[in-house]
Structure 1
């Protein structure tokens, strides 16, 4: 049975990314004009069997950009498990060899620290 799709004006497009993963490096914060931008990476992994049935772990790295002020980024460190929600954006640029490239980034709209890394949790216990 064929599926039908609505083209009514009441429906809108959706660009929403949800990730649960680990921070790859401590976030960095810079100023662009009068705005603050925080950048960091999140690694997500999945394990799947190969043709022989051996489990293979595959990790994807995601670039995250956050365009708001706040000091939350001081509280997260490399290795922390986080939940990130945002929209996917593609940015075109010319690299140093004059080759056109496209970079995918997630524009963060929501963030939650799920589990601190083991070293951070141990540091807090030592205090």
Structure 2
């Protein structure tokens, strides 16, 4: 019986079944669903590029003591580089899906202290549910 058994060596390769691009070992990808916390601020740069900056709130809930619910909200800084004007229609309160990469930037604050900020460079966006105008909310 042992004549039929032979040792086989396996080599594992990092592969992705959903893409035809080359496999990578590193991944920097963030996916968020949340509410836009501020209307995007558009800035046109000297080289005619446009950048949008806005905040996004994500919330999670968990059970607390005495059947209470604890809600925790995280705020995320989002940066979107685009010359498309359609993004100016995004408003505070919109429910959105954002995909991007986490980036860190070092800077010196007003007091001369070195700091690091984290922000997400947006690569994909989907408007899930626009916010209602204030007039509609009161009806």
Same fold (TM > 0.5): yes
Query: How big is the shift at 1:75?
Result: 1.6
> Which consecutive unaligned segments of at least 5 residues does structure 1 have?
1-5
Bigger CA radius of gyration: 2
Instruction: Name the CA distance, whole Å, in 1 between partners of 2:13 and 2:45.
Output: 39
For the 8 Å contact 2:42–2:88, the answer to whether it is kept is no
Instruction: State how 1:47-126 maps to structure 2 within 5 Å.
Output: 47-119=61-133, 122=136
Would you identify which runs of 4 or more consecutive aligned residues in structure 1 move more than 6 Å?
none
> Which consecutive unaligned segments of at least 5 residues does structure 2 have?
1-11, 15-22
User: For the structure 1 residues 120 and 15, does the alpha-carbon distance in structure 2 shift closer, same or farther, using more than 3 Å as the test?
Assistant: farther
- Match of 2:58? 44
Query: How big is the shift at 1:30?
Result: 0.4
Match of 2:38 among 22, 25, 28: 25
- Select the structure with the greater relative contact order (CA < 8 A; seq sep ≥ 6): 1
Aligned length in residues:
118
Q: Secondary structure at the match of 1:14?
A: coil
